[in-house]
């Protein structure tokens, strides 16, 4: 699988990067490279729900290729992602996943102990923590919010992480060659 992924990734990305105009400014080039790297990631694995979700997200967040002179013909449109929008989104996700709770911990413990035995309180607390972590994971996985938490979602998460690791290794190798 690694070899197939790497071959597909490089076969998409290298020609796409070669077509980028050297006349483009740094910001335009950065956006094009990011889009092309994301598209290579999307097109390299086979049969992954996360890759379909990421491709859909890329297609929803595109701008016309004419904005970037000399950009790849392989990708008819390019991703429009502003750094401040990404920062706002990350802040929003962090706020929802890790909300600031000003309630004292002692009050929570008394409140929880009133609800049942110590064992029930521990189980309820663990379930809340697990639910919070799964919610966070679903925000990281492309298409995760539409997935039911089950073995399939965890398999998709494993596939996504594996492909991201392969992408990083390929990009590191490409940088060393250049």
The pLDDT tens digits of the residues spanning 127-158 come to 999 888 888 888 889 988 888 878 888 899 99
Alpha helices in the chain (DSSP H): 2-18, 26-43, 49-60, 83-97, 105-115, 118-140, 151-177
Of 93 and 26, the one with more pLDDT: 26
DSSP state of 25: -
Across residues 25-42, what is the average pLDDT? 90
Q: Look at residue 108 in the predicted model and tell me its pLDDT.
A: 53
| Element (DSSP H or E) covering residue 64 | strand 62-64
Cut 0.85: pTM above it? no
Q: Please give the Cα distance from 116 to 131 (Å, whole number).
A: 20
Q: Look at residue 147 in the predicted model and tell me its pLDDT.
A: 84
């Amino acid at each position: 699988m690694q070899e197939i992924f790497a071959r597909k990734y490089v076969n998409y990305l290298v020609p796409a990067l070669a077509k980028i105009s050297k006349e483009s400014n740094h910001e335009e080039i950065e956006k094009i490279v990011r889009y092309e790297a994301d598209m290579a990631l999307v097109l390299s694995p086979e049969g992954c729900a996360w890759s379909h979700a990421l491709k859909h997200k890329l297609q929803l967040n595109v701008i016309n290729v004419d904005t970037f002179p000399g950009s790849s013909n392989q990708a008819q449109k390019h991703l429009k992602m502003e750094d401040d929008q990404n920062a706002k989104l990350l802040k929003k996700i962090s706020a929802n996943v890790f909300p600031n709770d000003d309630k004292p911990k002692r009050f929570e413990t008394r409140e929880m102990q009133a609800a049942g035995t110590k064992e029930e309180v521990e189980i309820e607390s663990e379930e809340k923590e697990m639910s919070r972590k799964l919610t966070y994971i679903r925000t990281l996985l492309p298409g995760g919010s539409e997935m039911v938490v089950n073995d399939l979602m965890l398999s998709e998460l494993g596939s996504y992480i594996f492909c991201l690791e392969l992408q990083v290794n390929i990009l590191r190798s490409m940088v060393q060659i250049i």
